[in-house]
Structure 1
Amino acid sequence: MIRRIAVLGFGLAALTVVLDRATKLWALDALFEPPARITVTGVLNLVPVWNRGVSFGLLSNDSAWGPWLLGGFAVAVAVALVVWLLRAENPVLGAGLGLVIGGAVGNAIDRALYGAVVDFIDAHWGDLHWPAFNIADAAITLGVGLLLLDAFGIGTGARASERGRTGDG
């Protein structure tokens, strides 16, 4: 039987993929053809960006095998995280894993369909711009934050130093 924590994680993963796909399909229609910039607020724009690398455009390349290698890696990571999720024992860990899984799958779908990831959210302060990102990237970032909270025992009901003890000390 699947634990409630795993159900939470899988639900967040599915929600992330659905929201990510919906927003990317909208962005492809509204921003990419023809290229357009939409100012949302003084610190947020929507812009068309094809990301051929990993997070924030790192390791960007135009090789034919790049998208398959990066997409395959994302799927492998997602599978490993699913195994971890099935063993998760608290909701903070389950939610964090679910968000990272959903984000990894969302971006892997882009690599399979387009050979690059659709990024379109441009956060900035004056002339300082954060690299463009998408809902999947935001979910991965939030998920990693939750994994860190879990690692330090914050919000899980146990301190990290206590979770590794066997009770014989």
Structure 2
Amino acid sequence: MNMAQTKQSFLWLSIAAVLAAVDQLSKAIVETLLPLGATHPVNAFFNFVHTLNPGAAFSFLADASGWQWWFFTGIAIIVSMILASLILRHPTSREIPAYALILGGAVGNLIDRLTRGAVVDWLDFYWNAMHWPAFNLADVWIVTGAGLMLLKSFQPQVKDSRAW
């Protein structure tokens, strides 16, 4: 790997780290301002909430007996290692921005699992009595990265691997 590629790898890994830090800062603010279980209405379709999710996205397996902590922690570690490796080995790949977003989100939620035992969720969108499961910025990063990858899959391949 040449110096330019090393710098690009460092840039994308730094972006992922900043995204994880922003996620953690937002969760620390929620923990400071809202007691666990509290809801603060903002408008007719959005609340700030403070919940802990021991499961995965959309509270999947949140009611399991505890094994899910090990499972989701292991997945987050493996996915983070794979994404960091891809960023280091292919820093000019057109998928790298998506990888950085997913890595930042995975690390943000992994930190929660390791330090809190569950993921802090605080964004609550709803319509009438129908609530979307609460989520956080790490989830936004992950979904955005996955969406970018999906969009890229529909675009024709370009010869220049640096093009995004």
TM range (shorter): 0.7 to 0.9
Deviation at 1:145, TM superposition (A): 0.8
Equivalences for 1:8-157 in 2 at 5 Å?
8-33=11-36, 35-61=37-63, 63-86=65-88, 87-90=90-93, 93-153=95-155
Task: Indicate the SS of the match to 1:59.
Answer: coil
Q: Give the whole-Å Cα distance in 2 for the aligned partners of 1:111 and 1:68.
A: 9
Counterpart residue type for residue 113 of structure 1: T
Q: Deviating runs (4+, > 6 A) in structure 1?
A: none
Identity across aligned pairs (percent)?
35
Unpaired runs of at least 5, structure 1:
154-158, 164-169
How far is 1:5 from its partner?
Answer: 4.6
| Contact 2:61 2:68 survives alignment (8 Å) | no
Deviations 1:71-116 (A, max 9, x none): 12101101111122231434x5221110100100110111111111
Task: Flag the 1:21–1:111 CA change in 2: closer, same or farther, 3 A.
Answer: same
Two-structure CA RMSD over aligned residues (Å): 2.0
1:3-55, Cα deviation, whole Å (9 max, x unpaired): 2553442232112111111010111122235x421122222101121111111
2:162 is matched with none
Separation (CA, whole Å) in 2 of partners of 1:73 and 1:42: 36
What's the TM-score, normalizing by structure 1? 0.81
Structure 2 CA distance for aligned equivalents of residues 2 and 144 of structure 1: 26
Distance 2:152 2:86 in 1: 13
TM-score (norm 2): 0.83
Cα distance change on mapping 1:5 and 1:94 into 2, 3 Å: farther
How many residues align structurally? 155
Distance 1:59 1:71, change over 3 A: same
Deviation of 1:61 (Å): 3.8
